[in-house]
Chains A and B, each alone.
Chain A
């Protein structure tokens, strides 16, 4: 095996970053029209004058990537993906609450 060499340009897409919708398409493997629709449905926020120039917060990439996977892998439409993402997150919140309560009760 070769000796590992460092990759100097490894970069974390951080919380403070804003990503162009065109880059979102590339990162989440979804079409521009789908990103725009997800923004219009309120799945993520955006800023910018026109849809083609919209920027979205990098912190919202995880939910957009999940939406993209659901559309790609399960064949759900944009509205269905938006609903599913919210339900998945809601389920995650409830599971965390249950685990906290279980630790309180059972240790």
Chain B
């Protein structure tokens, strides 16, 4: 695993006071918070900052981390020393219930609580909130519960949201070995994501969260759906918008054209005298659901270049015969 320089991540000196660290956290959290930030890799950076703050805000964790010394560099290969953690009260060991999904889909599925292996190997499972303003809240509050729910995000394409899809998740859970030590065991689950999911919706996987150690009910795993941008369609709730290029004669005379929709090509009538920017609606052609979304067609008139004598003649003819001045309202 790679060493993480938490001071470098937080942008503070190793001698920084608790107040300086807190201020730095607030500044960086504001800058990289995924819900507000437009920075590149905001989510990744935010998780790094959260992880660094989790260690540096806690005097004991910070002291233990400092004992590793300052010779390691960010990204350097690292293994915890054999006597790691001796003299401190926190317990090391693997975190529970980490979820990752990969194949058969290409995008990375990040554990929403995704602290690094470096953190896990040193400090074990993070005290992460689940039943109130829980642990992990750097601004106070602590909740105590049995088995926690886990939250993760899943990114899907618009086409997948339309038709439904599946994801294979890898869940890592600690398993108590006969010698009393913990081992991380991976098991996979296949999740069916139904057709019609939209941005921010939750999928609950009952019992796939943290496993109870006392024989109690396990927590659930919640997947928060996020939609990837689409090359053609723009999503707004369940409605989609497509910008459709049309010719000036299709615009003027009307035409029937084939329009791409999420469900395939559909013939649509463009009314005569349509204008650029005008919107037409294909009812029920958006994302499916109890109230299916609509598809909006935004017309865009594309003028052909006058780069041949024939094309120039056509435009000259229009100029002579149409008596058209689009700037009439400007007094031109």
Interface flag for B92 (CB, 8 Å):
no
- Which residues of chain B are within 8 angstroms of A74 by Cβ–Cβ distance? 26, 29-30, 33
New A-B contacts (10) at CB < 8 Å, excluding given A104-B276, A107-B302: A1-B170, A10-B192, A13-B203, A29-B130, A30-B133, A65-B200, A71-B133, A72-B138, A103-B243, A103-B298
Between A and B, 17 residue pairs with Cβ closer than 8 Å are A5-B189, A9-B205, A9-B207, A12-B203, A13-B201, A13-B204, A15-B290, A29-B129, A30-B133, A31-B141, A69-B35, A72-B133, A72-B137, A96-B234, A100-B241, A103-B298, A107-B302
Q: Give how many A residues have a beta carbon under 8 Å from the other chain's beta carbons.
A: 43
Q: Is the CB of B26 within 8 A of A1?
A: no
Q: Is the CB of A6 within 8 A of B190?
A: yes
> Chain B interface: which size bin?
35 or more
Contact partners of A27 in chain B: CB under 8 A: 149, 202, 222
A80, B185: Cα distance in complex, Å: 42
Q: How far is the CA of A69 from the CA of B197 in the complex (A)?
A: 22
In the complex, the answer to whether A88 meets B36 with C-beta atoms within 8 Å is yes
A-contacting residues, B15-58, CB 8 Å: 26, 29-30, 33, 35-36, 46, 50
Judged by a CB distance under 8 angstroms, whether A36 is at the interface is no
Q: Encode B173-199 as 1/0 by CB contact (under 8 A) with A.
A: 000000000000011111111100101
Judge whether B236 is part of the interface by a CB distance below 8 angstroms.
yes
B132 at the interface (CB under 8 A from A): yes
Q: Is B260 an interface residue (CB 8 A)?
A: no
Pairwise interchain contact A25-B132, C-beta atoms closer than 8 A? yes
The chain A residues found within 8 Å of chain B, CB to CB, are: 1-7, 9-16, 25-27, 29-31, 34, 58, 61-63, 65-66, 69-75, 84, 88, 96, 99-100, 103-104, 107
Determine if B208 is an interface residue (Cβ-Cβ < 8 Å).
Answer: yes
Which residues on B sit within 8 Å (CB–CB) of A7? 189-191, 205-206, 208
Query: Residues of B contacting A3 with CB < 8 Å?
Result: 188
Whether, in the assembled complex, B127 has its beta carbon less than 8 Å from a beta carbon of chain A, the answer is no
Q: How far is the CB of A37 from chain B (nearest CB, A)?
A: 13
Contacts of A16 in B (CB 8 A): 290
A63 to chain B, nearest CB (A): 8
Contact with A along B111-137 (1 / 0, CB 8 A): 000000000000000000111111011
- Chain B residues within an 8 Å CB radius of A61: 200-202
Q: A84–B300 Cα gap in the complex (Å)?
A: 35
Minimal Cβ-Cβ distance residue in B for A6: B190
Complex CA gap A13/B190 in Å reads: 18
Distance in angstroms between the alpha carbons of A2 and B35 in the assembled complex? 35
Say how far A105's CB is from chain B's closest CB, in angstroms: 9
Known A-B contacts A29-B129, A74-B29; the reply to A100 vs B298 at CB < 8 A is yes
Q: How far is the CA of A61 from the CA of B199 in the complex (A)?
A: 11
